[in-house]
Amino acid sequence: MSLGVQGIIVSGEASESDEEEFCVTQAKGQLREANASLEQNLAQSIRGPLREQSGRIQHLSGTLSAVQTSTLATHTAITRAARNLSSDGFPSSRLS
């Protein structure tokens, strides 16, 4: 019954170049993991405040729009009142 070759076992010590290559490979893997983690943390630290500030800007934009509408309505009302007073012949000297 033939099982085929599954792997080769070599006994003996690894050469310095093999050990260096192994260390380099391990270091590269650790650097990749560290970089991925840093990128994720950086993205989260930027996205969170951006979302918060974006929400504030949207709120302020809505508030500004309401204030502009209110100011325009007030201006229109004051202009009409001034026209009505002047068209009624109400002398401005009586106000003093």
- The predicted pLDDT at position 96 comes to 47
- CA dist 17 → 14, 20, 41, 48 (Å): 8, 5, 36, 46
- CA dist 78 → 56, 65, 72, 81, 94 (Å): 32, 20, 10, 5, 19
pLDDT tier at 14 (50, 70, 90 boundaries)?
low
- DSSP-derived secondary structure letter, 91: -
pLDDT > 70: what percent of the chain?
A: 76
pTM: 0.46
Half-sphere exposure of 44 (CA within 13 A, CB side): 6
Question: pLDDT tens digits for 41-65?
Answer: 999 999 999 999 999 999 999 999 9
Domain definitions of the chain by residue range:
26-87
Question: pLDDT tens digits for 60-75?
Answer: 999 999 999 999 999 9
What average pLDDT does the chain have?
A: 84
